[in-house]
Amino acid sequence: MTRKTVLTGDRPTGKLHLGHYVGSLRSRVDLQADHDQFIMIADAQALTDHYAEPMKVRENVYQVALDYLAVGIDPSLSTIFIQSQISQLPELAMYFLNLVTWNRLKHNPTVKAEITQKGFGEAVPAGFMAYPVYQAADITAFHADIVPVGEDQKPMIEQTNELVRSFNRIYQTSCLKEVEAIIPKIARLPGIDGGAKMGKSLGNALYLSDSEDEVSKKIKKMYTDPNHLRVEDPGQVEGNPVFIYLDAFGKDKDKIEELKGHYAKGGLGDSVVKKYLLEVLLEFLEPIRKKRELYQNHLDEVKRILHEGTLKAQAQAEKTMKKVKEAMCLNY
């Protein structure tokens, strides 16, 4: 069987958090053994709204790379690369931009939500509006079969496939490939404030690099069932972030089920559940923190990994671009 190609990535706008882990990092670690996996640090995409903070984006490229290595992404199995260094990507996107209407861009649900969240209104940068098209170029340039993403990125994949179909039809080629989104079972982790989504800008994130002290503080103030006022009251398990986190990170499923039953019946205090959650999270995070520190102390090695990955990614993107240009009669 031929190996399938996976392409994924993150905008380096900050350190990665548990939401990233559950939504995509975990599946990348699983996928790398039997897939050709490309993992892109999407610095150029980060600049679509952080264009005035290039140094911050640059610093975060390294932070994200450290997070990848810390969670177990293995550079001998996965190709980690820096988006801005692959000039074939904006080149391909330029041709894709002809195949999408302004109206279609405006109606991409992910972009729409982000415009509201960032308060752009009509003053949204054109580059930001177009980012799904750039993302389609990212995906197709590497001939990806699969993109593991958080649920919020699903519209990006739909838009990518629309572009692939248009391109192949208009230029009578089959050089671009449609891609499949795979959404992890628990694709979205709520914030520690109970908000539907964990996010840096929402101020409700637990980071992979948080210290024990930070984790402890965050768990203490974590949102639970607001109606669970006295220990003896029955509590709500469904939708309760504390239990969602336990389901996502706890290994002892029997114990978790027992706690859920007890909580629902009444007589189990939030502080007891939180204490157990803290234990679970610290156990999960400790090896990650250690590995991160190790790489942090060997940044040259991290830079070498990124450099090698970038060269490999360039070669792959160039192959695709050659076919694209042929199909478009741009082969002079």
Contact residues for ligand TRP (CB under 6 A)? 7-11, 40, 42, 45, 135, 138-139, 147, 149, 153
Nearer to ligand TRP, 11 or 228 (CB): 11
Most distant CA atoms of the chain, gap in Å? 78
Find the helix packing angle between 270-296 and 212-220, rounded to 10°.
Answer: 150
Cβ atoms of 129 and 106 closer than 8 Å: yes
Nearer to ligand TRP, 45 or 79 (CB): 45
CB atoms within 10 A of CB 91: 16
Q: Which two tokens stand for residue 28?
A: 């990348």
Q: Which residue has the tokens 């050709």?
A: 36
Q: Helix 299-327 vs helix 131-141: angle between axes, to the nearest 10 degrees?
A: 90
- Element (H or E) spanning 82, and its range? strand 78-82
**Minimum distance of ligand TRP from residue 139's CB (angstroms):** 5
C-beta closer to ligand TRP: residue 8 or 320:
8
| 142 or 245: CB nearest ligand TRP | 142
Q: In the complex, what is the shortest distance from the CB of residue 20 to ligand TRP, in angstroms, rounded to a whole number? A: 8
Which are the contacts of 319, defined by CB distance < 8 A and separation ≥ 6?
Answer: none
Q: Is the dihedral of CA 114, 23, 153, 328 positive or negative?
A: positive
Q: Which is nearer to ligand TRP, 25 or 219 (CB)?
A: 25
CB of residue 61 to ligand TRP, shortest distance in Å: 13
DSSP state of 161: H
Nearer to ligand TRP by Cβ, of 10 and 36: the residue is 10
Comparing CB distances to ligand TRP, the nearer of 8 and 27 is 8
Question: Residues 215, 208: contact at Cβ < 8 Å?
Answer: no
Cα 234 off chain centre by: 36
Contact 25, 99 (CB under 8 A): no
154 within 8 A of 108, measured Cβ to Cβ: no
Q: Closest CB to ligand TRP among 6 and 273?
A: 6
Taking the complex as a whole, how short is the minimal distance between the CB of residue 13 and ligand TRP, in angstroms? 8
Q: What is the CA radius of gyration of the chain?
A: 21
Which residue, 165 or 298, has its beta carbon nearer to ligand TRP?
Answer: 165
Least distance to ligand TRP, CB of residue 186, Å = 18
Q: Distances in Å between the alpha carbon of 50 and those of 11, 39, 80, 125?
A: 10, 21, 22, 11
Q: DSSP secondary-structure letter at 269?
A: -
Q: How many helices (H) and strands (E) does the chain have?
A: 15, 5
